[in-house]
Structure 1
Amino acid sequence: MAGPDFTLYLLGSSVPWGFPYAPACDIGTIVAQAWSGAVRDKTLVVRNEAKYGAQSTYVVERARSIAQRQHTPRSALALVYSGNNEFLQLVPGRGKRGRGPTLAGPDETQAVAAAHRRNLEAAVLDLRRAGVEPVLSTLPTNLRDWPPSYTVLADDRAEQIERLYGEAIDVSGHCGEEAVRLLSEVLTLAPDCAQAHFRLGRLHLAAGRRDAARRHLVAANDFDGRPIRATSAINGNIRDLAALHGIRLLDAEAVFEDAAPDGICGNEQFWDDCHPKLEGYILMAERLGTHIADFTGTKAAPAVPSREAVERAHGIDRSFMADVHGRMGLYCYKHSGCWDDEITLGLGEDYLRRALEMAPGSIEVHVALALLLAWRGNDAAARSLARAAHALDATRTLWLLHGPEARNTLGALGITDVESWILND
């Protein structure tokens, strides 16, 4: 094939890396499949330089490394997708799950957002100076079905807020409007109560009040005391930088919202808080392809492959998806430290049960589901699963149950003798 390569770089954290399909599949490999491995007679080379859990400081490091490489004119493009992990350094102390005193004041929160903006600005300008065309992407998130990680409660009103919130949850199943009233009263006392915004948003959505629902669900994310999803400020940074410097913008947030029921993204599009299902990765690959076509003077980007074609090309079969469901079940379980964790724990249980259906011999899935059920209070079912795992492979089961994560879970439940817990009635 004539001419030098055309290089597509992916920079950022777990989404550009391709979680939970990585390393088999990501946005770049889908683009390569669509373009049949070539862009205007140049071999298309995908270099995924994203890293799970990376913050924007890592994006700057990778951009500077890429900028030191040689690139001929119009031979390289970089997708920059970063902003979900900027607040991970905020760690709640011991106490009530998912709520308590502030972890970062307004000044610190603004400083984190400002640092994200500076880092992305430095990264895209370094890339552009080196002849690599940057594409900034906004970050879509699961607003509909993923609760805030941490709710800040004012010390002097915490007890009253918790009482009102509890009453709202108690009546929400049979008297939605009374729950709306109680949650609205919570927000009168504490306008930044993220969990109240989340529950109120879902009640409005169930009642068909889309605009009110969206307002509260966005507020739930923006008021999260430890956000693990991109906030409005983060996506605002991305749009502002694209406009200020004339950088290409892949507005994935808008694209996902256009495809979502009621324009509010949820579990139909995401596995969890921010990681898309395969259709979402295909959608982003399609939009990135239009930028490649425009940048290279290609008349039109080729059509992206169907989901079935992507699955065939990347080996995404039943065994692969069993592993994905297992990993996502663990992800939901590990991120269930929020105030009202039944949503995330329920989702995690659904994933792990599906994984067990697809891979009934998996010791890891047996143990993971046993731990989740034990945490949810279903000790009988948890022990039954642990016994089944022990019957399949006693050595590996005990090794997993003596691991730090299992010890933490079981220890918090007062279970210190794992063998007795499994084997004794």
Structure 2
Amino acid sequence: MNGSFPGRVLLSFAIGLFGVIAALQLIPFVRSSELPSVAALPSVEDALAGLERPKPAGEFRVFTIGASLSQGFPYSPAYAASYGKLMGDGLAGFVQAPRVVTRAIARPALDSPKLVELVRRSLAWEPDLLIVTLGSNEYANRLFSSKQLLPRSLLAQVDERLGRARILWRELPGHGRRWPAPGPGDASAEKALAEKLVARALKAEPGKAQLGALPFDRDERELLLGRLRRSMQEIDALARAAKVPLVYCQAVYGLGAFWPWGHESGGQDAEIDRLALRFHLGEGEEVALEDLELEGEGRADLAFMRGLVLRRLGRREEALDEFRRARDLDPVPIHRTGPIDQVVQEEAKRLGRPLFDLNEPFCRLARDGIPGDEHFLDYGHLSASGHRIAAGYLARELAERKLLPLAADFDRAAFDRAVRASIAASISADELRYAWPRIAAANGNYGLLFGNFRDALPYLLRCFQELPMDQSNAQRLLFCLVHVAGRTGEFAQDDAEQATARSLRLYQELLQARKEQRLQDWVRSYLQAAPGKR
């Protein structure tokens, strides 16, 4: 046997391997295209039920396409509170030629590639105007899927490059789709994900996220901003090909009232936590600006607290700067950010499409021009009154630009009366009453998932206080509270029987505090009795 045999084989193998890797790099590849989706598309057929095909003469169809905001989440039935649906209800009493029909097509957690698919499907129903609201979920799939777009280690990079052969397989007939396309209205996958996330929330620890997607670095955010640009371009191309006018909208963001989803440790952690809890427990008015002169530059929570104090002091511009810093420093960006806003604005301008910012009417209504919690359920979801305001704003803007076929001037008072009547007729008193605490329950779970127990606490407290009695809400509240107080050691030193008895006493105290409507005082006293805080 030739003595050089092993060397030649290994050399040939190495050359072949690098040759394959080099060849695979020639395959066009967009990393974000393989990001798994956490939400199924809604059924376009269900959303547009009752509309005829082909479209009858004398009908002007307006479709509002988006995510949870556009659906009117969390109100039920779906779309009952949607600003798109309410806009049509408000216009119903106007003299129209032709008759204006508005429909919303939306579902929570949809990002811009999903909106491309919704636009594509909706065009079969011959819309006369498309309104696409985006900007709020561009990072959500990346966060909740826990899939990193950029390989970190050398081994992961080699694996990713070799794996590009899958792109060829995906392009074979019958083996791939450009965008994920679950069956119409099939929500089983997202339900399973929600259950998985809730289960993870109860395994979390303060400062330790239960999602492998964190941290979420700048390079990956840039990749997804590029995807947003491409999606806007695709939507524009679809609308132009169908000769349908297109309007883009930016989703709302309650800049001055809702805390960042996450915060990174650094600086004077204990003091920052103590001050944040004072805000959460209704003592924020006593916090001075000097109290916030702490080490911790780059912390979203510290910037947000400065914004709250500056706003209270009437220093609007400084407060606005701090709120924006907090938004953009948030390590868990499941919302509008400055870079997302910039991309949407630049792309809409470049494409020559009108762009409406749904935050605008709320800025006008706020005493200092900073949207707060009035008319908002949380950072990116509106109350029923908020949807009424957004519907009026959008209708006025469209009417002024002659994008709606109104035969008379826009009557604000008549529109508002019609929308109020629609809300009263289609949304029950319980839906209106429980919308906020339902959102709070979801946001509290998210806080636990992200390892941000401190800022999850007020959400969990409010949902337990205001929703009908639910043991699972009590369980999450106590789980969070014990960790925030730093009192887990009390249970660890007990034997099983003692730990059970301690837990039962705590649960009974919680129920009694709820019954006597003194929950916040009870939580405060429990925190103050923690080791080192007495």
The answer to whether 1:324 aligns with 2:380 is no
Q: Which residue of 2 aligns with 1:247?
A: 353
**Separation (CA, whole Å) in 2 of partners of 1:204 and 1:116:** 34
Q: 1:311 aligns with which of 400, 423, 441?
A: 423
Higher relative contact order (CA 8 A, sep 6+): 2
Asked whether the equivalents of residues 5 and 44 of structure 1 are also in contact (C-alpha less than 8 Å), the reply is: yes
CA separation of 1:44 and 1:369: change in aligned 2, threshold 3 A? same
Which runs of 5 or more residues in structure 1 are unaligned? Answer: 357-364, 388-425
Report deviation, 1:297. Answer: 4.3
Q: Which residue of 2 aligns with 1:422?
A: none
The one-character-per-residue Cα deviations of 1:321-377 (angstroms, maximum 9, x if unpaired) are 244245223223223236665554324433443333xxxxxxxx4335423432344
Q: 2:143 aligns with which of 71, 87, 90?
A: 90
Q: Which residue of 2 aligns with 1:370?
A: 474
Asked whether the equivalents of residues 138 and 251 of structure 1 are also in contact (C-alpha less than 8 Å), the reply is: yes
The answer to whether 1:133 aligns with 2:245 is yes
Report deviation, 1:104. Answer: 2.5
CA separation of 1:282 and 1:125: change in aligned 2, threshold 3 A? farther
The 3-state SS of whatever aligns with 2:423 is: helix
**Separation (CA, whole Å) in 2 of partners of 1:324 and 1:226:** 24
The 3-state SS of whatever aligns with 1:225 is: coil
Amino acid at match of 1:62: L
* Pairs within 5 Å for 1:4-403: 4-22=58-76, 23=78, 24-36=80-92, 40-67=96-123, 69=124, 71=126, 76-88=128-140, 89-90=142-143, 96-97=206-207, 103-153=215-265, 158=266, 160-163=267-270, 165-166=272-273, 169=276, 174=286, 176-182=288-294, 185-187=295-297, 192-293=298-399, 294-298=402-406, 299-303=408-412, 304-306=415-417, 308-314=420-426, 316-337=427-448, 341-356=453-468, 365-377=469-481, 382-383=507-508
**Separation (CA, whole Å) in 1 of partners of 2:404 and 2:429:** 38
Asked whether the equivalents of residues 135 and 335 of structure 2 are also in contact (C-alpha less than 8 Å), the reply is: yes
Asked whether the equivalents of residues 247 and 355 of structure 2 are also in contact (C-alpha less than 8 Å), the reply is: yes
CA separation of 1:33 and 1:167: change in aligned 2, threshold 3 A? closer
Which runs of 5 or more residues in structure 2 are unaligned? Answer: 1-54, 147-199, 483-502, 513-534
User: Larger deviation: 372-381 or 291-300?
Assistant: 372-381
The 3-state SS of whatever aligns with 1:222 is: helix
Asked whether the equivalents of residues 137 and 249 of structure 1 are also in contact (C-alpha less than 8 Å), the reply is: yes
User: Larger deviation: 36-45 or 252-261?
Assistant: 36-45
**Separation (CA, whole Å) in 2 of partners of 1:269 and 1:118:** 33
The one-character-per-residue Cα deviations of 1:227-264 (angstroms, maximum 9, x if unpaired) are 12111121222222222222122221222222223222
The 3-state SS of whatever aligns with 1:58 is: helix
The one-character-per-residue Cα deviations of 1:291-319 (angstroms, maximum 9, x if unpaired) are 443114424334322464232232x2323
Q: How many aligned residue pairs are there?
A: 363
The one-character-per-residue Cα deviations of 1:62-101 (angstroms, maximum 9, x if unpaired) are 112233x263xxx611221112111122268976437799
How high is the TM-score relative to the length of structure 1? 0.75
- The alignment yields a C-alpha RMSD, in angstroms, of 3.3
Q: State which structure, 1 or 2, has the greater radius of gyration over its C-alpha atoms.
A: 2
Amino acid at match of 1:370: A
**Separation (CA, whole Å) in 1 of partners of 2:255 and 2:507:** 31
Asked whether the equivalents of residues 307 and 318 of structure 2 are also in contact (C-alpha less than 8 Å), the reply is: yes
